[in-house]
Chains A and B, each alone.
Chain A
Amino acid sequence: MRAVLSSILALAAVLITWASAPAENYPSKPITLVVPAAPGGVTDVIARAVGQRLGASLGQAVVVENKPGAANQLAAEWVAHSPPDGHTLLVSPEATFVINPYLFAKLPYDPIKDFVPVSGLIGIHQALIANPSLPLHDVAELIALAKREPGALNYGTYGLGSTGHLNMEMFANAAGVKLTAIHYKGATPALSDVIAGTIQLMFISIGSAVQPWQGGRVHLLAVGSKERSARLPEIPTVAESGLPGFEASSWFGLFAPAGTPPPIVERLNALTQGILAERQLREKLLDPQFFEPMTGSPTDFAAFIKRDTEKWRRAIHTAAVKIE
């Protein structure tokens, strides 16, 4: 009888240890950060910068795997079906979670059920730039011009349904003007065309707008953040230029497949937050590129995503963007 009892206890002890082993032995092999974009883009740069430091903290190699395609769907699907042991993570822009569900009739993944938000990484605000040939220096002048010639002004986007597209539509809606969208494959060709004068306007991340603006190639009309940027104090926000409450933003976050043990999620969150607070990272990468680190626990992040989802749902509805 005693033998049976002690065996059961021993077995229970083993089982409990075995069940909790994954969290304690984490990470037991190299970690893969899946990036739904080709190497070199913002998502990729963030993933590599964070991943390198994460690997140093965890003592395991962190490998970035690029899986571009199908508007982030391929990468999301891949991670959603990966084993939830914390060794496969997704670094993704907001589109995958808050925009895609409203853009596409069906997705090969469920943005809520298939993933666990681990941590917000960075947020970006977008700036409104214009080609210098137009006599525009601020938002008020732009709105006036747009009202005089409805539909005449062309703006560039980096894709149908992209944040650049939706933000501009929200802007036009709030300002009561009509602008014509011209879609490009990516931000770079669109920016080139604004500089060349082929198109007149676009919303682009502040980090990408600063250098052309300083070089005199574009006019920086306003920034889409809630408050003026500390490093660009002379540029007004769109909100204070006549469209109160307007915000043109975009964010990137770290996600794990649903079912990843909470201790692992918490640990990753703590490490990531620590990395984002590192002075060296801020000075080298975040500040020069106007990346704003996102703080908060996994629960905070999840709540943020929920709020943001609603915002984009309304934006897509307003913009009447639909994929045929």
Chain B
Amino acid sequence: MASLDSALRALIRKRDFYAGGLMLIIGCGVALKGLSYRSGTLMHMGPGFLPTALGAILALLGVAIAIAGTSAESAESDERILPEHPQWWGWLCILAGPVLFIVCGRYFGMIPGTFACVFIAALGDRTATLKSSFVLAVVVTIFGVALFSYFLQIPMPILTWKVGS
């Protein structure tokens, strides 16, 4: 009993447990949704056939990965999911950059979109200051707009006001 408990504990600490688990979850999800589409037969495959099969395969692989992880060498088990210094703020800024590009770009145009994207992304760096990010954003905006809008003629309005449309 005790050995099972400690084995389970060891398992949960191993990264591959989660890796395999993720694949298992995704695989099951895909397969279950795939069943709602018509499967058909191998000879005449319906829309659901391949995705369901693939989902099932992925789930099985997930289990295999998790099991393989239990017998892994120490090198593998030293890897952790989160890096030594998780950069939550940095990651947030990186992901927020494109989001702001989409929102500002769609409703206000290329200049606000570019500026917002670069500004917020630059703030993610530990050594960045508000001023350095601002300057970088301005420089990239000028250069980017010149390149993409004037030279390459990308169909995106530079400055607009589309709120409410």
Contacts and interface: CB of A to CB of B under 8 A. Distances in A.
Find out whether A and B make contact in their complex, taking CB atoms under 8 A apart as touching: yes
Interface of A: 32, 63, 65, 81, 83, 324
A63 B165 contact: no
B47 A63 contact: no
Contact of A32 (B38, B47, B155): B155
Given A81-B165, A324-B47, A63 B155 contact: yes
A210 to B, nearest CB: 34
Interface in B38-67: 38, 47
Contacts, number: 8
A32 B165 CA distance: 17
Given A65-B155, A81-B165, 6 more contacts: A32-B155, A63-B155, A83-B165, A324-B37, A324-B38, A324-B47
Nearest to B47: A324
Nearest to B38: A324
Contacts of B155: 32, 63, 65
A65 B154 CA distance: 10
A83 B162 CA distance: 10
A83 B157 CA distance: 15
Q: Pick the 4 closest A-B CB pairs, nearest first.
A: A65-B155, A63-B155, A81-B165, A324-B38
Category for how many chain B residues contact A: under 10
Interface string B108-148: 00000000000000000000000000000000000000000
B135 to A, nearest CB: 33
Contacts of B38: 324
Contacts of A81: 165
Contacts of B165: 81, 83
Contacts of A83: 165
B37, B47, B155, B165 — most chain A CB neighbours (10 Å)? B155
A65 B153 CA distance: 11
Nearest to B46: A324
A32 B157 CA distance: 12
Contacts of B47: 324
Contacts of A32: 155
Nearest to A64: B155
Nearest to B48: A324
B153 to A, nearest CB: 8
A249 B38 CA distance: 33
B35 to A, nearest CB: 14
A83 B165 CA distance: 9
Contacts of A63: 155
B39 to A, nearest CB: 12
A65 B37 CA distance: 35
A324 B155 CA distance: 36
Contacts of A324: 37-38, 47
Contacts of B37: 324
Contacts of A65: 155
A63 B157 CA distance: 13
8 contacts: A32-B155, A63-B155, A65-B155, A81-B165, A83-B165, A324-B37, A324-B38, A324-B47
B38 to A, nearest CB: 7
B95 to A, nearest CB: 25
Nearest to A65: B155
Interface string B29-41: 0000000011000
A90 to B, nearest CB: 15
Nearest to A83: B165
